[in-house]
Structures are given as C-alpha cells and as structure tokens.
Amino acid sequence: MNNEPRRVVSSATDSGLNQYLAKMYGFMAAAVGVSALTAYLITTMFYIQTMTFLSQHRSAVWIMFGLQLVIAFMFKANRSPVVNAVGLFGFAILEGVVFSTLVAVYTMGDITMAFVSAATLFVVLAVMGTVTKRDLSGVGRHAMAALIALIIVSIINFFLQSPMINYIFSYVGIIIFAALVAFDSQRFKQSYYQLQGQVNMTSLALMGAFQLYLDFVNLFLQLLNIFGGGSRD
C-alpha cells in the first residue's frame, strides 16, 4: 500500500500547526514586550506626570479597567485579525501603564526576579501543554473553579486585610495559573485542528496569544507578590 499521500498530508498539517503556534507565541511575546516597553517609558520619562494624573483623576483608573474588560470580551476567532491585533496590543499598553505603578511598591530586583521566574515557568509549562498526549481539560476545569473561589475569597480578604492570607493566596495563584498555561497551550493547539478551514488562523492565534498573555501576567503578579513580600514590610 502506498503511504506517500498520507505522509504528505501529515507533513502539511504539521507545517501549518507549527506556523500557527509560532504566530500565537510570537504575538504573546510581542504583547509582553509592549507592556514592558510601556512601563519602562513611563517609569523613566513620564512617571511623575502619570502618577500625578492618576492621583488627580481617579476615574481614569476605572476607565482603563473598563476598557480592559471590553477588550477582553471582544476577542473572537471569526473576527478580523486586525481587530484582534488592536485588542491584544491595546490591552498590553493599558497593562503597561498598570505595571509602571509597581516601582512604587516593589524594587527592580524583585520585579526582575519575578519576571525571569514567570518566563521560565511559562516556557516549561507551555511546552508541556503543547507536546503532552494527556487530556488536560480536567486540569483546566479544576483550575478555573479554583480561580473563581480564589477571586471570591480575595474579595473577602480585601476587607479583612490579612497579609498572611494574601501571601498564601499567591502560592495558590501560582499553582492555578501554572495549570492554566499548560491547559490553554493544549486547548489552542486542539482549536487549530477543530477550526482549521472555518476561521482565520491568524485571528485564532491572536485569541490564543491574548489568553496566554493573561496567564503569564497573572503568574508574574503572583510571583512578584511573593518575591516582594519583604520589600513592602
């Protein structure tokens, strides 16, 4: 039996998947870079002006938060790649503004350690999620349920103001977002096969990049809370 056609199809599929994954992780890395650049420019050139503006116009913080929520819900695989790209990098810029305020709370050493640790964890978990044969949908469901519970208890702790609870939650958060990195990496790989030919693959890659960007940012913030715990005391 001639298996050559099957090998050609498999090779083409693998090539298409590799291009799709390269786009997705490339967009995600670019979004992180945009956030970092935005934060760097503000802290080195416009820090006083930005902090003064935000302190005098507190509604601006809520407007930024509202814009981020709107952007988060606008991502769809069947949307134009341009729309999804504007959403991803617009969100990254807004997040960069938020990151610029971290220098008032944490040292650059803490921020650097948290970023390097988050990047290392992300790469390892993303590779695991992409190559593993095990179905991670159960892991994703449990992680999402744990995240909802964490958010609810965090709201309660906002009023209790317990540093110990906050510190413990950071470790729990690391476990949750680590699981989500692996789960989302596998989920968007599977989406390639499920939606191939039905949607624009660049739009889908941008959608995956946004979800992985959120996972990375939250992983970074949880690590920063741990590394910087002593700096704020």
Using 50, 70 and 90 to split pLDDT, how confident is the model at 52? confident
Report yes or no: 143 and 183 within 8 Å, Cβ to Cβ: yes
CA-to-CA dists, residue 91 to 67, 124, 214, angstroms: 8, 25, 10
Average pLDDT along the chain: 87
Q: Is 107 helix (H, G, I), strand (E, B) or coil?
A: coil
Residue at 232 is within a domain = no
Residue at 167 is within a domain = yes
- Which of 42-56, 57-71, 99-113, 208-222 is modeled with the greatest confidence? 208-222
Residue at 233 is within a domain = no
Contacts of 76 (CB under 8 A, 6+ apart): 84, 203, 207
Greater confidence, 198 or 124? Answer: 124
Q: Is 197 helix (H, G, I), strand (E, B) or coil?
A: coil
Residue at 125 is within a domain = yes
Residue at 16 is within a domain = yes
Residue range of the domain that includes 97: 4-227
CA 92, CA 86: separation in Å to the nearest integer?
A: 10
Residue at 34 is within a domain = yes
**Into how many domains does the chain fold?**
1
Tens of pLDDT, residue by residue over 88-106, are 999 999 999 989 888 878 8
Report yes or no: 93 and 31 within 8 Å, Cβ to Cβ: no
Report yes or no: 32 and 209 within 8 Å, Cβ to Cβ: no
Residue 8: what pLDDT?
A: 37
Both structure tokens of 140: 């994703």
The answer on pLDDT for 9 being more than 80 is: no
- What's the pTM value of the predicted model, to 2 decimals? 0.87
Report yes or no: 111 and 167 within 8 Å, Cβ to Cβ: no
Tens of pLDDT, residue by residue over 212-224, are 999 999 999 999 9
Total Cβ atoms within 10 A of residue 160: 9
